[in-house]
Amino acid sequence: MPIALPLDAHLHTHLSPDADVPLDAYAALAREQGVAEIAITDHIDFVAGDPAYHYADYDRRVRMVRDAAERWAGEPVIRLGLEATYEHGVEEAVRDYLARHPYDYVIGSVHMTRRTPFRDPGTAATWCAGKTHREATDFYWDEVERAIRSGLFDTIGHLDFVKRYTQPYLGPFEYEPHADIYDRLLRALVETGVALEMNASGLRQEPHEPYPPSTVVARFRELGGERVVAGSDAHRVEHFAFGLTDVYRAIGRAGFHALSFRRGDDRVAIELSTELVRALLGAGAGPNVGQG
């Protein structure tokens, strides 16, 4: 039987242009697998022509989530979230939007948009040719730090997501040669109080490790990090909670005793009970929740 978990804080429905899941499908899986609370965090972009620009209006998002929350009557609890694509050139547009549209919980993410060299395989290959990982990704880390320090977000999604795009050309993005890059971002998270998301989607993608890996989560704790959150970043039914147990296990091993989450006006610590931590640390190494 899967281990019951308190939260999956990153899920996409058919209101994201790259997903196809009805919200009720996630709710049914959450009830079946013992995930007590889910956040629906559909995409929004702020540059005209990008896939999630005006894809689903706010009223539709609210209506879908609130209606589902009523139908499922707290089993699971369903929260209205958002994943906003961050670029420094649209920061004020993001700020204005969030000021006018309240959400329970907001993720800020740096994605590989049409304005990056990773917009398609051809430009990515050309960009990476003759470069080191560091040279090819400098622009990305700068943007992530701006997102952290913007004050707009509860958490930063998939911190080192760029490694998914460099790996085919430059190989795995290893921790040790880039520890200073991670430390720069982790210190920014500590200084601002923004939560570190451990995103399980990398386990089903080419990096085959979370964004970021467990070493980075442990380092965040060493640097004084107190706020961490877990999400599967599902876009398909079979992705629901995939690898989420592994992510929780890494969070527990790093010494965290709670997840940091926001429920509207209230920022809360969702306790990882002693029983849950014992179950996680006693479980096997492979993903055993929602395999797909």
- What per-residue confidence (pLDDT) applies to 282? 84
Please classify residue 276 by burial: count the beta carbons closer than 10 Å to its beta carbon, then call 0-12 exposed, 13-18 middle and 19+ buried.
middle
pTM value is 0.94
- Report the CATH architecture of 80-282: Alpha-Beta Barrel (3.20)
Q: List the one residue out of 64, 62, 66, 160 whose CA is nearest residue 109.
A: 160
Classify each residue of 175-200 as buried b or exposed e, where b means 16 or more C-beta atoms within 10 Å of its C-beta: beebeebbeebbbbbbeeebbbbbbb
- In order along its 292 residues, the chain shows pLDDT tens digits of 578 999 999 999 999 999 999 999 999 999 999 999 999 999 999 999 999 999 999 999 999 999 999 999 999 999 999 999 999 999 999 999 999 999 999 999 999 999 999 999 999 999 999 999 999 999 999 999 999 999 999 999 999 999 999 999 999 999 999 999 999 999 999 999 999 999 999 999 999 999 999 999 999 999 999 999 999 999 999 999 999 999 999 999 999 999 999 999 999 999 999 999 999 988 544 433 332 2
Tell me the domain boundaries of the chain.
80-282
